[in-house]
Structure 1
Amino acid sequence: MNEVDTPAVEVAEPETVEAPEAAPAPEVVAEVETEPTAEVVAEPQTSVDPNKLSALLDELGEIPDKPSEALLENINERSIKNLPASVKGLFKHLVAAERHRVSQREAELEKRAAEIEKRFDEIKEQNRTVIRNRAQLNKVLLDPKFQEYLKAAEMPEEEMKDPLSPEGLEQRIKKEVAQRMKEFQQPITDSARKAQQLARYQDFVADNPEMLDTDFKTEVRDLMKIRRDSGTPVTLEDAHALVKGKRIQAEQEKNRVRDRLKRNESNRNISRTTVSSVKDSGDPVPKWVTEKGYNGVRGQSARIQYLRDNPAALKKLRAQQKQRR
């Protein structure tokens, strides 16, 4: 019996003391520490369920398609302050979402604008390259040696040797080739000339931003047409200088007229003030004499000096004094 009882006691001790205490402990810690923290941290970072947000907004009632100031008439800071925390949370979420959307849209627009500007610069550079290549090719085609070769296209038939002879056959071959080369050269030369003119115009506009103004550019173009029709043509640079100078003179004259009108208005105001002060008080000495000063002095000294310099005012003052007596 002792051999049987002893193992039973030894087995019972680890089951009741060690095993039950070790197993539940990790389970309790895992439930308390990990699950709530996962919900608190992950909730602000994840997007709100669209169905839940739609249900919340439905409780606000009918929402207008466009913003309305009438909705804010009866709302003030105190109204917002007294809102429940849950409603404030909803509003904060909506405001943050709208700010985020606007920020993303602005970033997209800025990126798109940068891409367009970069592409525009690339096209401008490609355009300059094409113009340079055309000018270089045109330079080759206008080489004196090449032009001398093209003269064979203009050789009359009667000046050529017998077409059955080797010399005559060679002359006709050269004439045919020269004619083809001349036909090939002409459009390239015309295109290169136009491209060079366009390049010079673009450079001129870049150096003179007034040409970006439609009215200014039209005025320059009209002046060039008038001068060309009258037999005294002017260059683009000269026409630009004439129009710009004319506009500067017109602006200066406008400023002079405006300044003159301001001075006249100021003088009229002073005259009205002087007459008004005399009429209101009956005093022959205007109020501005004592208030603003006369000959560098103010107050009674200014009044005395004014009467000395204006005998008519002094005479009127003495007459008033006699009447008072």
Structure 2
Amino acid sequence: MWDAGNRSAVQEFILEGFPAVQHLGKILFLVHLLAYLASIMGNTLIISIIWADHRLHTPMYFFLGTFSIMENLFITTVIPKLLAIFLSGRQAISFAACFMQTFVFFFLGSTAFFVMGVLSLDRYLAICRPLRYSSIMRPRVCSLLVTACFTLGFVFAVAPIVRLSQLSFCGPNVIPHFFCDFGPLAKLSCSDSRSTETLFFSVAFVVVSIPLLVTIISYSNIVVTIVRLPSAKERQKAFSTCSSHLIVLSLMYSSCLFIYVKPKQTSRVDFNRQAALVNTVLTPVLNPVIYTLRNKQVHQALRGALCRGK
């Protein structure tokens, strides 16, 4: 996968970060460090609660726990390097490490989208097909669905990143970003990257559109079912199980659609660099807060854990 490095003049890249605000480096380092730690601790708390409380041993929380694990891995792929940039300025990264970071970033990001699509399907079955839910969403089926999400994420990430790594990089080697993202890397190539960009656009479109289509169909049916419920209390309960999921999906799709699902990957690099902060810093911090504040079962599990601790 990394043979292209031997045919390129560039043996390492320089991550530029945010030169316009470099004078605020130490303050930004502290802010992003706190955000990173808050995200790690928030997701770890969710994972721990789900593992410890038998009432949360359900398909929905199994998928949510998987998403939290991936979120921790996803931000750890990017944020440590960003912190180093804020603290020390530009950071060098080897050719192989740069493309490995790109691959892991898109592999975990793609997998997260598929897991959220599966979670939409799970909510559809729970609300619209409650009598068949337990017979369909058995533990083995849930494990197979998660395995399929990881497999699809890997398959969709491999092809465009391998193609990108096989391009020639003759210089310059400064990436106007805080991590090795596809668009800025494609812009640095001295080869014709149009076919590679088209492949990436096609893959990104499929990765985003398939879970989005599943979500739209699932929630369209969910809304129809909720509206038909006879009791206002039942309608509120059904909606409360979906609201946090919808908020997280909105945050994920808004940033990723803006950055990746466009034919010209080399355009609007400066805007993409700022929008990527939403995807890698803001959203991971908000996700655990949204899931814990808007979920009564998690509230009960937290209270139970605190009572046992006392």
TM-score (norm 1): 0.20
Structure showing greater Rg: 1
